[in-house]
């Protein structure tokens, strides 16, 4: 059976999923797995379509020292034990810069261009590109597709896209991009099925996880986002501060004597919930802690989330619906409730019982509809990869596939 492999690589893990292509061209999730603990306690875990365990293996540190090695281990397992030989591989790439507003078939030149944006997404971009380079070197004829977290937002109008800086810098690519676009695109495409009452309206989607942002959708299209030039902007996150006065950066460099690299590491690794609490970057640990600084970090997250909803509501000139998604948004009923409490002025009021049982619709009757919609970035990547793969085939083959 033909398959698509989806790869989402981070600094210490490589997540992967395999989608089978049914006869009618639909994608069916077949395997979900990851190599985590890279360079410390490497482990391969994988489950099948029904959640059954397919693999649970530990490896010595020296066997899986980096992302390419992890990809090699996962690839060997898929090929040798699961007999998976994908038609193509789809990758999540966080930053597409000004050049890429849709998925692209990868070659060495594109990888070089995407590497230019590594400084704009240091927690993601270098690691997104590592498995791409490995596969290019070892399987040069295997089609690879880059799917960008910035692409969904590229239709923003100039008022949302520009910074108040000289236009020449905007022309060089210094603009507000927005991120988590694959998640928002999935939600946009899913709303007509799960929440038709709001799908064509003005909807704010809150992607709340270790990385967090919000997006304003109008008729399913992104019109504004809390993130900008980089993925450090907007909401406070696990280790990133979110919105911060540029003067703080000047203070750190001019007064505190920090180098650019020091500042980059500080902003991406030592701030956010971790910096505020001094306890953890994990919302679950913070909510379970009796440390007052942990409580403050949680309340700060809630407060800033509500503030950003106000900004997006102004961009939309009203709100017809609200959606929670991603790790915190999908799983923390208490965070959902605390954010909703601050949004009563938008007509938002949760049904406590529905929220506690993590129902799809959690708002009270007669109030602004609020939904919890699990995101699926990997399926979005697989769909983009398959569509691009078919578009490159001769038209007669594409028609045969579609028939």
Residues with a known catalytic role: 149
Tokens of 65: 């020292």
Work out the number of other CB atoms within 10 angstroms of the CB of residue 358. 15
Look at residue 392 and give its three-state secondary structure.
coil
**Chain centroid to CA 266: how far?**
21
H/E run at residue 89: strand 88-93
Handedness of CA 370, 372, 377, 186 (dihedral sign): negative
DSSP lists the bridge partners of residue 3 as: 20
What is the C-alpha to C-alpha distance for residues 403 and 401, in angstroms, rounded to an integer? Answer: 6
How, if at all, do strands 88-93 and 3-9 pair? Answer: parallel
Tokens of 271: 């701030």
Residues 6+ apart with CB under 8 A from 78: 5, 16, 18, 31, 84
H/E run at residue 157: none
Residues 6+ apart with CB under 8 A from 192: 199, 200, 220
């Amino acid at each position: 059976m033909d398959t698509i492999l989806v790869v989402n690589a981070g600094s210490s893990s490589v997540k992967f999923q395999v989608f089978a292509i049914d006869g009618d061209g639909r994608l069916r999730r077949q395997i979900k797995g990851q190599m985590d603990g890279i360079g410390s306690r490497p482990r391969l875990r994988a489950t099948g379509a029904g959640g059954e365990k397919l693999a649970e293996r530990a490896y010595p540190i020296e066997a899986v020292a980096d992302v390419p090695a992890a990809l090699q281990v996962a690839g060997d397992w898929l090929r040798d034990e699961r007999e998976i030989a994908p038609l193509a591989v789809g990758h999540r790439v966080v930053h597409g810069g000004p050049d890429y507003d849709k998925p692209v078939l990868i070659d060495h030149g594109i990888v070089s261009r995407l590497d230019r944006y590594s400084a704009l997404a240091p927690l993601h971009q270098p690691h997104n590109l590592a498995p791409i380079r490995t596969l290019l070197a070892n399987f040069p004829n295997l089609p690879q597709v880059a799917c960008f977290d910035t692409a969904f937002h590229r239709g923003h109008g100039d008022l949302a896209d520009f910074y108040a800086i000289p236009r020449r810098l905007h022309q060089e690519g210094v603009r507000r991009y927005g991120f988590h676009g694959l998640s928002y695109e999935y939600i946009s495409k899913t709303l007509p099925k799960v929440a038709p009452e709001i799908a064509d309206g003005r909807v704010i989607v809150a992607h709340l996880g270790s990385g967090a942002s919000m997006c304003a959708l109008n008729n399913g299209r992104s019109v504004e986002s809390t993130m900008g030039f980089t993925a450090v902007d907007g909401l406070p996150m696990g280790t990133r501060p979110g919105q911060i006065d540029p003067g703080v950066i000047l203070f750190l460099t001019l007064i505190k004597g920090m180098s650019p690299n020091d500042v980059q590491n500080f902003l991406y690794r030592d701030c956010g919930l971790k910096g505020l609490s001094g306890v953890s970057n994990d919302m679950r640990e913070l909510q379970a802690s009796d440390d007052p600084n942990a409580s403050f970090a949680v309340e700060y997250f809630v407060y800033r989330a509500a503030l950003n909803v106000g900004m997006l509501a102004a961009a939309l000139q009203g709100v017809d619906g609200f959606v929670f998604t991603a790790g915190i948004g999908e799983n923390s009923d208490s965070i959902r409730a605390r954010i909703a409490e601050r949004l009563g002025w938008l007509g938002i009021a949760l049904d406590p019982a529905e929220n506690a049982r993590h129902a799809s619709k959690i708002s009270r009757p007669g109030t602004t509809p609020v939904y919890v919609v699990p995101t699926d970035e990997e399926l979005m990547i697989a769909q983009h990869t398959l569509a691009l793969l078919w578009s490159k085939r001769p038209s007669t083959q594409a028609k045969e596939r579609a028939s």
